[in-house]
Amino acid sequence: MTTYKGRCECGDISYEVTGEPLLSGNCHCRDCQRATGSAMAAVMLFPKEGFKLLQGEAKYYDLQADSGNRISRGFCPNCGSPMFSLLEMAPDAIAIKAASLDDPTLYHPAMHLYTSSAQPWDPIPDDELAKFPKMPDM
């Protein structure tokens, strides 16, 4: 079983999660674009039972997804690093931003989500990853 460790930029928040991701993908939705200030968010969804906050506490901002479900986006209140997302549609899971990992090479995306919102200045590569115009059925 793999243990993933990560932290925010300033180090106020650190975490570890043990287990394998339920899902890993690059999300191109407008919410993720705004939350990251970039073209997409690289996310890994894990069972909450394997997650452990080692230090600090994230501040959360709630928003409504296009599905009508709530998303709580967690970030460091000191440096602003995006860290976690809690999803109403998957209450027993936590989404980790792959860039927050101490070793981001452990991230292996399996899909591109919300390709319909991808920005033309950052085209989705023509790779073997599954591509979904919106969120696939979970």
- pTM > 0.85: yes
Q: Which CATH class is domain 3-118?
A: mainly beta
d(CA 11, CA 31): 25
> In Å, how far from its chain's centre is CA 68?
19
Per-residue pLDDT for 138 more than 80? no
How many DSSP H helices and E strands does the chain contain? 1, 11
Mean pLDDT of the chain: 93
Is residue 61 within 8 A of residue 73, CB to CB? The reply is yes
Is residue 83 within 8 A of residue 13, CB to CB? The reply is yes
pLDDT by residue (tens digit) across 26-49?
999 998 999 899 999 999 999 999
- Non-local (6+) Cβ contacts of 68 within 8 A are none
pLDDT for res 57: 96
- Mean pLDDT across the stretch 58-65? 93
